[in-house]
Amino acid sequence: MFTRTESFREFIRFYPMVSIIVAIHLVLYLLTILPIFPNYWFFENFSGVNLYIMEGEFWRLITPTFMHSGFAHMLFNSFSLVLFGPALERMLGSGRFLFIYLLSGLIANVATLLLEPLTYTHVGSSGAIFGLFGYYIAIIIFRKHMLSKQNSQIILTLCVVSLIMTFLQPNINITAHLFGLLGGFLLGAIPYFNKKDLSDSIKMTANWAGNRKKSISFQSPIKVFIWAAIIIVAILGFFSQR
């Protein structure tokens, strides 16, 4: 579920929204280092600054979700999205996935605005990514048949480790992590699908997984090993810089 075996083209075709978000991360990062604009221009205009938001620059409630403070920050958040986003995009569809992702990030940033000082400044997609974790937890609790027991255990373990690391690492926006997780969970608990829609979604995911099973079984062990290593690195690096 969390090891990627698709080719680059397949990944873009199967998970267009995850691909677009990662591309935005990369483009914005490049724009902050290329000599097209002054280095500080994008951070001055798009980072989350509570004082500026209170003065009416409300776009800063969304734009920090796509900004990052450096290459490692951008890389690890993008890896996390590539690892944990595709399964949820496949289950929900690209439109609903984007809605959950953006709304979780918005909830995290609004909470940061309300609970942190006016001088507080932040960037990063952590709140939105924690929203995905929260949505997974809601699936585990309310729609447990949509995830295998093994995958449910992986998600819960990752959430516990991530929450522990949130309080141990310096320079972490704890408010965004907690409220992103809570926001995603609440969104997942809302009965978006009626019984027919839910049944169709489960059947679609099961059929897709069955069709992919044969091709996945022939993937190179080296490729699987590389993705397993990336998962470990992403988890460790997820908290390296905020």
Q: Which pLDDT tens digits describe the chain residue by residue (242 residues)?
A: 777 788 899 999 999 999 999 999 999 999 888 877 676 788 889 999 999 999 999 999 999 999 998 898 899 899 989 989 999 999 999 999 999 999 999 999 999 999 999 999 999 999 999 999 999 999 998 888 888 888 888 889 988 988 888 888 888 899 999 999 999 999 999 865 444 444 555 455 455 455 554 444 444 455 445 445 555 555 555 554 44
- Helix, strand, coil percentages (3-state) for the chain, rounded to 5, are 75, 0, 20
Q: What angle, rounded to 10 degrees, do the helices at 221-237 and 71-92 form? A: 120
Domains of the chain in start order, with CATH, are: 8-237 (1.20.1540.10)
Give yes or no for a contact between 67 and 43, defined as CB atoms under 8 angstroms apart. yes
* Residues identified as active-site: 126, 177
CA distance 199 to 122: 40
